[in-house]
Amino acid sequence: MKPEKVTEFYRRLRDLEPAPKTELKYINAYTLLVAVVLSAQATDVGVNKATGPLFKLVDTPEKMLKLGEKGLKDYIKTIGLFNAKAANVMALSKILVEQHGSQVPATREELEALPGVGRKTANVVLNVAFGQHTIAVDTHIFRVGNRTGLAPGKNPLEVEQKLEKVTPAEFKQHAHHWLILHGRYVCKARSPECWRCPVIDLCPFEPKTPPPEEQKKLKARAKAKAKADAKTPRATSVPKKPKKKK
């Protein structure tokens, strides 16, 4: 995608949501870190349901350690992989207390050294908690980057690096949220809602998904055609007579 189109792409997303925010509920940098760790292979809605009651009781690593792993599991048992996630949360909480003065570190290297924290989680925390211009690439952003041609790549790291390169400085602070919201609610995986996409004319993806009304008409036509074809008798071939030998 050409630079002028990239700028226009982001400008339109910004016009729709000037100050986007993460949909994960959190109180401080620590609870944000915990929420993002829990959100791996889970929905934000599901995580919020579990952490709502949890964060009323626990908002520091000391309180988490006091709650204990078994107590934590009782709160997050509705989240996928909760056993492994509970173990990671307890381990990273212990490290924060012992090595970081109970504070969440503000560097990628220190964050990725924590149990259960990968590059994507670190990028989210750096961006949301510390205002750094990082872009965390999840499945939604990976799809948007490739489908729109904004930042095509074979893996999340490639997409992230290309986004870092092509995204104008004025949009980098909120790029992550604009792209994830666009992928989550408009540029969906199975059936992208192209008819209401604000960047439809900038996107090379084909075929564009038509509006629901048109989809109904197309399905009705296809159904009618299939019905008509079923009534049409098939031509039967007449077997050829064998040639007589001379």
Render pLDDT for 30-64 as a digit per residue (tens, 0 to 9): 999 999 999 998 999 999 999 999 999 999 999 99
In whole angstroms, what is the distance from residue 165 CA to residue 88 CA? 33
Question: Annotated catalytic sites, by residue?
Answer: 120, 138
In whole angstroms, what is the distance from residue 156 CA to residue 236 CA? 55
- What are the Cα distances from residue 204, in Å, to 64, 147, 148, 164, 199? 48, 8, 6, 21, 10
CB 61 within 8 A of CB 96: yes
- Quick one: average pLDDT of 1-25? 95
Burial class (CB in 10 A: 0-12, 13-18, 19+), 69: middle
Which two three-digit tokens encode residue 10? 């982001």
Q: Dihedral, CA atoms, 36, 44, 64, 102, nearest 10 degrees?
A: 30
Please tell me the predicted confidence (pLDDT) of residue 65.
Answer: 98
Q: What is the DSSP letter of 187?
A: S
Residue type, 137: V
Burial class (CB in 10 A: 0-12, 13-18, 19+), 165: exposed
Mind listing the pLDDT tens digit for each residue in 183-221? 999 999 999 999 999 999 999 999 999 888 887 787 777
pLDDT band at 244 (very low <50, low <70, confident <90, very high): low
Percentage above 70 pLDDT, the chain: 94
pLDDT at 246 over 60: no
In whole angstroms, what is the distance from residue 218 CA to residue 21 CA? 38
Domains, the chain, in order of start with CATH, read 1-190 (1.10.340.30)
Least confident of 126-140, 149-163, 186-200, 218-232: 218-232
The answer to whether the pTM exceeds 0.75 is: yes
What is residue 49's three-state secondary structure?
helix
- Quick one: average pLDDT of 17-42? 96
Please tell me the predicted confidence (pLDDT) of residue 235.
Answer: 58
- Quick one: average pLDDT of 108-119? 97
Q: According to DSSP H, which parts of the chain are helical? A: 3-16, 29-38, 44-57, 61-76, 82-99, 108-112, 119-130, 139-148, 156-166, 175-185, 212-231
